[in-house]
Homo-oligomer: A and B are copies of this chain.
Amino acid sequence: MRIATVGGSALAYVLLNSGHELVEDLDSAECIILQADHDELPTLVEEVAPHVSKGDIVIHTSLTHGPQVLDPVEVRGAVVASAAQLRPDTWGVEALDEVGLTVAQVLISDSGGNVIELSGDTRGPLIARVAYSNITWYLAAWAEMDVVQEIRGVDVPLLPEVLPGEIREAYRYIEDIGQQQAYSDVVRLLTERGKLPDFRWTGMEWQE
């Protein structure tokens, strides 16, 4: 299958493992994977819609959005689903109907990934946990890079970009006050190191 990716997601690269072809042209793609930060995804879907034909598969990778954000391509006859990376080898899949769910499950399973089926109810509790896991992992990875740099005496490659909108959205799903504090502490540590340039975190509030 011809796959195009906008925003370059881990999912797209996993799918290529099972023999699909990566193409640059959205019009010729049979499957489009969209990755964008929380606030940018709705606009991206609108921009991509004119390139989508009936029967095309469109998948977005945001955990803070459900599959509903893909409505503008779904009304054009696309099969849609969301598939967010929960762990390095595991994706949480949610769809508007059985067809979308099955297509996303088969695509990911055939490529060796694990699939968890999500719903509006089960996605919420995962959002904050996955976001906290991601930001603590960033913190740890940057700290390890600092060790490598001291040992080897050379600059090391940059890590994948942090998506500030996803991190801000996920905070809304944390109910426990202690966990809110832990989350904001880690976000502050990242901000102070210049890893979250687009937002300032002041106490419990995000300021753009």
Binding site for B on A (CB under 8 A): 86-87, 90, 116, 125-126, 129-130, 132-133, 136-137, 139-140, 143-144, 146-148, 150-151, 178, 182, 185-186, 188-189, 192-193
Given the known interface contacts A87-B144, A189-B185, A189-B186, the answer about A151 and B126 at a Cβ–Cβ threshold of 8 Å is: yes
Residue from B132, B143, B192, B193 in contact with A133 in the complex, judged by beta carbons closer than 8 Å = B143
What B residues does A147 contact at CB under 8 A?
Answer: 86-87, 126, 129-130, 133
Q: When the two chains form their complex, are residues A133 and B126 in contact, meaning their CB atoms are under 8 A apart?
A: no
Q: When the two chains form their complex, are residues A182 and B186 in contact, meaning their CB atoms are under 8 A apart?
A: no
The copy count of this chain in the complex is: 2
Q: When the two chains form their complex, are residues A137 and B126 in contact, meaning their CB atoms are under 8 A apart?
A: no
What B residues does A192 contact at CB under 8 A?
Answer: 178, 182
What B residues does A182 contact at CB under 8 A?
Answer: 189, 192-193
How many angstroms from the CA of A137 to the CA of B185 in the assembled complex? 16
- How near does chain B come to A129, taking the closest CB pair, in angstroms? 5
Considering only CB atoms, which chain B residue lies closest to A148 in the complex? B87
